[in-house]
């Protein structure tokens, strides 16, 4: 199911799969969060939205904010209980 966002009046559509999510998480390092977010977005954005996304990614912090919005929508809220 596509995830649709509007960022700075630009409509964007992303197609996220488990493999994309896993790659993003695996690429994150304590001192490098921007590059994995940028790569995640470029891998998942619909072809028709790539140029708009590229323009937005020139803004400071945009890749982190957009990736966070997508991940919030994509990842389920799990109920987890720890037994003792």
27 falls within a domain: yes
Question: What totals of helices (H) and strands (E) does the chain contain, helices first?
Answer: 4, 2
Residue 1 pLDDT greater than 90, yes or no:
no
Averaged pLDDT for residues 2-8 = 97
Quick check: is 68 in a domain? yes
Asked if residue 30 belongs to a domain, the reply is yes
For residue 47, the domain's CATH number is 3.30.2220.10
Does residue 50 register a pLDDT over 90? yes
**What whole-number percentage of the chain has pLDDT above 90?**
92
Structural domain boundaries, residue 41: 3-74
59-64 average pLDDT score: 96
Mean pLDDT to the nearest integer, 42-52:
97
The pLDDT assigned to 55 comes to 97
Rounded to whole angstroms, what are the CA distances from 31 to 16, 34, 36, 69, 71? Answer: 24, 9, 11, 21, 20
Structural domains in the chain (count)? 1
Share the mean pLDDT of the chain. Answer: 95
- Asked if pLDDT for residue 30 goes beyond 90, the answer is no
């Amino acid at each position: 199911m596509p995830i649709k966002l509007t960022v700075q009046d630009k409509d964007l559509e992303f197609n996220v799969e488990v493999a994309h999510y896993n790659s993003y998480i695996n690429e994150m390092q304590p001192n490098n969060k921007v590059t994995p977010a940028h790569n995640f977005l470029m891998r998942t954005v619909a072809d028709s939205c790539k140029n708009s996304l590229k323009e937005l990614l020139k803004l400071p912090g945009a890749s982190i904010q957009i990736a966070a919005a997508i991940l919030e929508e994509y990842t389920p809220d799990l109920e987890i209980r720890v037994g003792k």
